[in-house]
Amino acid sequence: MGWSVARTAVGDPVLSVEGQRIDHPADPAAGARRWAMGVVERADTISASSIVLIGFGLGHQVTALLELGQRPIVVIEPRLDLLACALGERDLRTVLESLAELRAGDDAVSDFAAESAAGREWVDALPGLLTTSQRDHADALEKVRRRLGLGDQRPLRISIVSPLYGGSHPIALAAARGLSRLRHQVELLDLSRFQAARQALDLFSTKPSARLGLEAGLTQVLGRGVLAHVRQRRPDVLLALAQAPLDAEVLQQIGREGVLRAMWFVEDHRLMDYWRTVAPHYDAFFSIEGPAALAAISAHGGGLVAHLPCAADPELHRPLEIGPGERRLWGSDVSFVGAGYRNRREGLRRFADFDFRIWGNDWNQPGPLAGFLQRGGRRVSSEEAVRIFNATRVNLNLHSSAWCDGVDPQGDFVNPRTFEIAACDAFQVVDRRAGLASVFAEGDGIAVATSMDEMRELTRHHLARPEERRAHAARARRRVLRDHTYEHRMADLVAALRTRWPERFMGARALATVADAKGRAPAGLREFLARLPGETPLRLDALARGIGQGSGDLDDAEGLVLFLHQFSDLYLAEAGR
């Protein structure tokens, strides 16, 4: 499995494993010190007698912990090649002499798990991410967690709050599916149904100042609805996607309920700066952007701030058989799917001499591109986008920018489309981004352009080479399926939360489901439960919803469940019981 070492401006080594950067790219020592201070804080919280790290890296994190000098440090590194790399890059003799214990080699993790380790604190070598070593030894690491007494890693109860509309809405749906596939108990608050109410505010006034006030009022109403949900369901985690209608006041109230608040900010922090008012009120703030954004958010927020890239959902983003009729409807030599930002309106003019189509909304005053805009510039659904990706020979992926013409030289985050096109086994030409190398390495099948002229030349080159295109697309799809699905991202997110707040998730218990109860239920109740999906939570409101989706007359068991549900809502809940 590949690793590489880069250098900072002053020559310090920075490690990347499988395309994922392990150390801070500009100042690895300073980044390690900030990380180590958080580790020591957690160790103090649970009175840990020592600290155990899985993964040595280049030793920056270990060095920082030793400098704080509060507890014995044990390091386990399964990969001898990475340990040899560290010893070759840095003089670590003093570090090695100062460790309480260093275990290395293929069996290091499993051997450690087999021994008594009472009283030691579990610490991931990189909060927020599972390193390659950790993924390779997942079963053994789970044994270590159990032996260290830090919870049984059972599924969490997670509520997801979507925005009313926009690009982060489908990401909320995909995140919910990813968490469900990881066997967490997920409740999705899909607020897109309130988009019609937002649009209907024009009935009262179309003046911008009045409209802002009305939208703020709607946000408050929806926020109170989310708070009511939290008080009734008591999730372990509330995960909000970008532009979820949660203001500072309601976030503070949710925090007082003891629920961990997390945000996945899948936007450009320079363009959408509302994060400044809400970041301080989230316990964890995940961003798709790089070091500059994380530093800015950290300056405003008081909790965990971490990088979490976009991803694809193979259940939705997949290869399709496209027949001649559909190819005529959706296909072209070259296409672009996305909103009409300034740089796209200017840069994509270079493709006017190709068989070219533009799909998406917000293309106000498209000028020379008006003839290429499909369906009058209406929004493209996720399902339609998948068909377009599959039917197009070369998909253009130009990231948005409101302040440049063409490729943004300061762009760092990688948009969802990069992963989605690749997951569809489709070919793309993408503009170069600072964060692209950390998710797609050279040879991973994506053509990268540093300018609009280069994007045009790469497009022309690959249109003439269909076999080369197909080979590139296949490699990119394999990389996404291996490393960049929403299951990967949600696993990393949950791991970051468990690592940062181990005491909050100790002994976390999932709610029982219908499947759990079927085998133990009496005969009459067993027949009733058999009519419901096995994953239905064993809770009155969930059972009542399941009954409501059925048809025909109610039997005695169904009638009793509905009566108990109504009694609970009308009397017990109102009494605060």
311-362 residue pLDDT tens: 999 999 999 999 999 999 999 999 999 999 999 999 999 999 999 999 999 9
Question: What sign results for the dihedral spanned by CA atoms 35, 41, 42, 43?
Answer: positive
Task: Give the Cα separation of 219 and 225 in Å (integer).
Answer: 10
For 517-524, what is the mean pLDDT? 65
Beta bridge partners of 17: 3, 20
Tens digits of per-residue pLDDT, 172-229?
A: 999 999 999 988 999 999 999 999 999 999 999 989 989 999 999 999 999 999 999 9
Confidence of residue 289 (pLDDT cuts 50, 70, 90): very high
Beta strands in 149-268 (DSSP E): 157-161, 185-189, 237-241, 260-265
Tens digits of per-residue pLDDT, 444-475?
A: 899 999 999 999 999 999 999 999 999 999 99
CA 308 to chain centre: 5
Identity of the amino acid at 143: K
Q: Crossing angle for the helix pair 556-567 and 523-530, nearest 10 degrees?
A: 80
Is it the case that residue 545 has pLDDT exceeding 50? yes
- Domains, the chain, ordered by start: 3-147 (3.40.1380), 157-311 (3.40.50), 324-483 (3.40.50.2000), 514-572 (no CATH)
Alpha-carbon radius of gyration of the chain: 26
C-alpha dihedral over 362, 366, 372, 374, to 10 degrees?
30
For 279-296, what is the mean pLDDT? 92
Beta bridge partners of 285: 263, 305
Q: Are 397 and 415 in contact (CB under 8 A)?
A: yes
pTM equals 0.68
The tokens describing 453, both together, are 């002229």
Check residue 567 and give its pLDDT: 64
Task: Give the Cα separation of 297 and 295 in Å (integer).
Answer: 6
Q: Please tell me which residue, 574 or 501, carries the higher pLDDT value.
A: 501
Confidence of residue 138 (pLDDT cuts 50, 70, 90): low
Confidence of residue 151 (pLDDT cuts 50, 70, 90): very low
Which 8-state DSSP code applies to residue 374?
-
Q: What share of the chain is helix, strand, coil (3-state, %, to 5)?
A: 50, 15, 35
Which 8-state DSSP code applies to residue 415?
-
The tokens describing 566, both together, are 């109504």
Q: Spell out a b/e string for 159-194, using b for 16 or more CB atoms within 10 Å of the CB, else e.
A: bbbbbbebbbbbbbbbbbbbbbbbebbbbbbebeeb
Confidence of residue 133 (pLDDT cuts 50, 70, 90): very low
Q: Cβ atoms within 10 A of the Cβ of 467, count? A: 7
459-463 long-range contacts, CB within 8 A, separation 24+: 459/334, 459/351, 459/354, 459/394, 459/396, 459/429, 462/393, 462/394, 462/427, 462/429, 463/333, 463/334, 463/393, 463/394
